């Protein structure tokens, strides 16, 4: 062992260095923390941010926004006053040399006690009035020309059913502008398909025709920040909410309640059309899918689909190898209805953009792409995958 380490001069030098080191470490830590805080604040200013409830794009989102803004400023004012006083008094009565004991106490000052009880009560009551009014306003069932859509939360994708139009689609909710859309929200699982406490949403296939929906029974939450607030989607319970868009456009949404492994990938889009474009979309979606010409790869894909995929999916217009139509009731809606798959910009809970490369990845092994996916790998051959992609692309 080196004896010099224990000699006094060395120890002194060592201690001086330590103090300098500590200051450096503290400075560096503060710098890193500052940068992290700056990055977090800057992230909120992303110029092309979607899912921004501070940019309401419809009357229902605007109602929430109009409540949020005044409440935010009231809360900010209270924060500044309270924290300001706290910092001021902490500084004013800080410990100094020559200052002994504690400062004069004002415990039991009746006037102060009454003031700081009544003032917050008045502020809270003032905030409560517009809050409660807005809650009731948003919860009211819309009147007049309303579009009704059933929203079903699955693990991990959204089903959209238009009972009056006879349309069933997934992950892409199409709506007309300037018309309230009344959503009836149900979660698939308990309370679905004739299980405990039937939900009010569109039932699935006739009871007993297919195994009960796989592994759902979890709570989701439906959220399109630019069009409305959030509403939970709960098995065995039917919730409602209204969304409405001013302008045509695409608004992105997200499941907002942790619902299992791929919760973060449970996304969707809302596409708002002019009323004329919406009618055209409805007409196109109502038409059954056309069968591809015999002998094409797409026709071979339809055969693969009829053989394997209808255990979980449905395509209106699908025919068996014998050329006979396969009724939609003999297919399944455990997974998304794919009748007009190619008209959708995304699939797999909007985790993936619709293109050949993504479809190939997905069909090879879904759970490796999306953790926990209920769609298993079917060990399809590369040829079968190409055929299925050709068929899916024909489903415009």
Interface with ligand CUA by CB under 6 A: which residues?
Answer: 153, 156, 220, 255, 257-259, 263, 266
**Residues 288, 290: Cα–Cα separation, whole Å:** 6
Q: Which of 375, 374, 157, 368 is nearest to 263 (CA)?
A: 157
The minimum distance between CB 220 and ligand CUA, in angstroms, equals 3
Cβ distance to ligand CUA smaller for residue 320 or 367? 367
The minimum distance between CB 290 and ligand CUA, in angstroms, equals 33
Cβ distance to ligand CUA smaller for residue 350 or 395? 350
The minimum distance between CB 351 and ligand CUA, in angstroms, equals 12
The minimum distance between CB 259 and ligand CUA, in angstroms, equals 3
Cβ distance to ligand CUA smaller for residue 73 or 258? 258
The minimum distance between CB 233 and ligand CUA, in angstroms, equals 8
Cβ distance to ligand CUA smaller for residue 251 or 281? 251
Cβ distance to ligand CUA smaller for residue 172 or 257? 257
Cβ distance to ligand CUA smaller for residue 257 or 316? 257
The minimum distance between CB 307 and ligand CUA, in angstroms, equals 31
Cβ distance to ligand CUA smaller for residue 180 or 189? 189
**Residues 113, 199: Cα–Cα separation, whole Å:** 52
200 contacts 184 by C-beta, under 8 angstroms: yes
Cβ distance to ligand CUA smaller for residue 263 or 313? 263
The minimum distance between CB 216 and ligand CUA, in angstroms, equals 10
Cis peptide before 156 (omega within 30 of 0): yes
| Contact partners, residue 223, CB within 8 Å, separation at least 6 | 51, 229, 230, 231, 253, 254, 255, 256
Cβ distance to ligand CUA smaller for residue 315 or 369? 369
The minimum distance between CB 272 and ligand CUA, in angstroms, equals 23
Cβ distance to ligand CUA smaller for residue 146 or 219? 219
| Contact partners, residue 198, CB within 8 Å, separation at least 6 | 191, 192
Cβ distance to ligand CUA smaller for residue 216 or 386? 216
The minimum distance between CB 238 and ligand CUA, in angstroms, equals 17
The minimum distance between CB 384 and ligand CUA, in angstroms, equals 31
The minimum distance between CB 189 and ligand CUA, in angstroms, equals 11
106 vs 45, 89, 96, 109, 228, CA distance in Å?
45, 13, 21, 6, 48
């Amino acid at each position: 062992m080196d004896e010099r380490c224990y000699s006094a001069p060395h120890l002194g030098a060592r201690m001086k260095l330590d103090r300098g080191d500590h200051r450096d470490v503290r400075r560096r830590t503060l710098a890193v923390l500052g940068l992290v805080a700056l990055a977090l604040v800057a992230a909120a200013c992303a110029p092309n941010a979607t899912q921004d409830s501070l940019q309401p794009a419809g009357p229902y989102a605007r109602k929430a926004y109009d409540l949020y803004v005044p409440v935010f400023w009231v809360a900010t004012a209270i924060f500044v006053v309270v924290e300001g006083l706290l910092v001021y008094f902490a500084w004013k009565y800080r410990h100094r040399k020559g200052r002994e004991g504690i400062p004069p106490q004002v415990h039991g000052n009746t006037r102060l006690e009454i003031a700081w009880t009544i003032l917050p009560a008045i502020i809270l009551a003032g905030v409560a009035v517009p809050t409660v009014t807005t809650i009731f306003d948003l919860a009211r069932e819309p009147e007049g020309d309303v579009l009704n859509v059933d929203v079903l939360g699955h693990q991990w994708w959204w089903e959209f059913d238009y009972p009056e139009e006879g349309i069933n689609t997934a992950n892409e909710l199409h709506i007309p502008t300037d018309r309230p859309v009344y959503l009836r929200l149900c979660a698939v699982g308990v309370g679905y398909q004739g299980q405990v406490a039937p939900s009010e949403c569109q039932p699935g296939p006739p009871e007993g025709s297919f195994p009960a929906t796989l592994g759902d029974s979890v709570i989701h939450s439906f959220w399109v920040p630019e069009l409305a607030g959030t509403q939970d989607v709960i098995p065995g319970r039917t919730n409602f909410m209204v969304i409405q868009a001013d302008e045509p456009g695409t608004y992105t949404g997200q499941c907002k309640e942790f619902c299992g492994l791929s919760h973060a990938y449970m996304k969707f889009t809302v596409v708002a059309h002019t009323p004329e474009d919406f009618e055209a979309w409805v007409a196109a979606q109502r038409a059954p899918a056309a069968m591809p010409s015999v002998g094409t790869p797409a026709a071979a894909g339809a055969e693969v689909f009829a053989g394997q995929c209808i255990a979980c999916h449905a395509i209106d217009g699908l025919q068996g190898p014998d050329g006979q139509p396969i009724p939609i009731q003999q297919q399944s809606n455990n997974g998304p209805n794919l009748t007009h798959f190619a008209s959708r910009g995304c699939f797999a809970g909007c985790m993936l953009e619709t293109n050949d490369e993504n479809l190939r990845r997905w069909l090879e092994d879904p759970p490796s792409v999306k953790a926990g996916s209920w769609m298993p790998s079917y060990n399809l051959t590369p040829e079968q995958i190409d055929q299925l992609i050709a068929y899916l692309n024909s489903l415009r």
